[in-house]
Structure 1
Amino acid sequence: MKGIYFSYWLLGLMVALPSWAKTIPASASMGVELELPQVQASIYARPYVAVWIEDKQRQPVRTMQLWVGDDEWLKDLRSWWRKVGRDNRSVVDAVTSATRPVGQHRFTWDGLDQQGKRVEQGDYTFYVEVVREHGGRNYIRQKITLGEESFDLQIAPTEETGNIALHYQLN
């Protein structure tokens, strides 16, 4: 009989534990500034870009931006494709937009996961993958902690990206 009560207690604990996790504040958001530099090349093509965030278990949380010309080029964003794209057509359909020209691009992540739920406070990794046909490839990772404190981060330029800035704010 003790075994049955213990099983119920353990099951109740497993159900209750996730509810103890504290989400980021409702007012929290993260602004992203992503620069695409002018690259000197004999044949210049706009880059394909994927921007996403993963939790500390390296599980995808949200694809923020996906800039590709055609679906056939999705596989060129190798890391994003293996992690998210090949198994989740609904994400591809929801976030895909046209490639962007040279210049500064801004967008805001609302702090929600792919299912529309506010994410938990804790450690995450911000990713940017940039691939250019007849050009280079860059894969950028930046550890971040989302919680009750604002932060600003600058990520150094690479061959295919200019400056990248993250602005986590509690409005």
Structure 2
Amino acid sequence: MPNPLNRRRFLEHALKASAALAATLALPRLNLADAQGAVKSATLPSSMELAVNLELAQASGFRYNRPYVAVYIEDAKGNPVRTLSLWAETSRHARYISELRRWFSESSALVATVSSPTRNPGKYTLVWDGKTDQKVQAPQGDYFVCVEVAREHGPYGLVREKVTLGTSALKKTLDSSVNPDLSSVSVDYRKKA
């Protein structure tokens, strides 16, 4: 003789039926969302890289301290994506790192892992492989290339310009007139050598 339908069995059957119905109704939406997400979240090609070229100006004046420089990438909303380099003295004058205002407010926890000594005047190239600070390939789209420069007893400046990265190569000269410690800044989105 089959078990009689009591309140408990009735609720179990009703829950199973409603869960099955909800899964059936949600399935087409999930597939559609996945298909749209795949289009939006195409990652940067691993065969491409972004080279940030910068030139620190020749020193002038009696009392000159080499500038602190942070080179980093932000997404279209201004969130940090990857710190390419931080040139700062961290042993004796760590207090001046906070002068790199924008970078420091978002990424100060990275000081110990990304910092290296300040640099003399000259030309430098930093390369972004398209990965985030968490080592995940970033999506294609708009990014801001940021070069922030501050000097003890000297000027502050932030070069921040938008670039669109995808599958096509790109070359762009950025406005470096914001700080006399920078002679030039340019980017080159190219195939890896």
Q: Which moved more, 1:32-41 or 1:136-145?
A: 32-41
Check conservation: 2:96, 2:152, Cα contact below 8 A: no
1:91-128 CA distance string (max 9 Å, x none): 22221100001111122111111111111110011111
What value does the CA root-mean-square deviation take over the aligned residues? 2.2
The percent identity for this pair of structures is 34
Q: Distance in 1 between matches of 2:100 and 2:162?
A: 20
Quick check: which one's helix share is greater?
A: 2
Q: Secondary structure at the match of 2:54?
A: strand
Shift of 1:83: 2.0
Instruction: Give the structure 1 partner of residue 46 of structure 2.
Output: 26
Unaligned runs of 5+ in 1: none
Higher relative contact order (CA 8 A, sep 6+): 1
Q: Distance in 1 between matches of 2:111 and 2:27?
A: 41
Instruction: Give the structure 2 partner of residue 81 of structure 1.
Output: 104
Verify: 1:116 aligned to 2:135, yes or no: yes
Instruction: Give the structure 2 partner of residue 57 of structure 1.
Output: 77
Instruction: Give the structure 1 partner of residue 184 of structure 2.
Output: 163
Structure with the greater alpha carbon radius of gyration:
2
Q: TM-score, normalised by structure 2?
A: 0.77
Q: Distance in 2 between matches of 1:140 and 1:59?
A: 16
Distance 1:35 1:13, change over 3 A: same
Matches within 5 A, 1:147-162: 147-158=166-177, 159-162=180-183
Matches within 5 A, 1:4-43: 4-5=22-23, 6=25, 18-20=37-39, 21-43=41-63
Instruction: Give the structure 2 partner of residue 139 of structure 1.
Output: 158
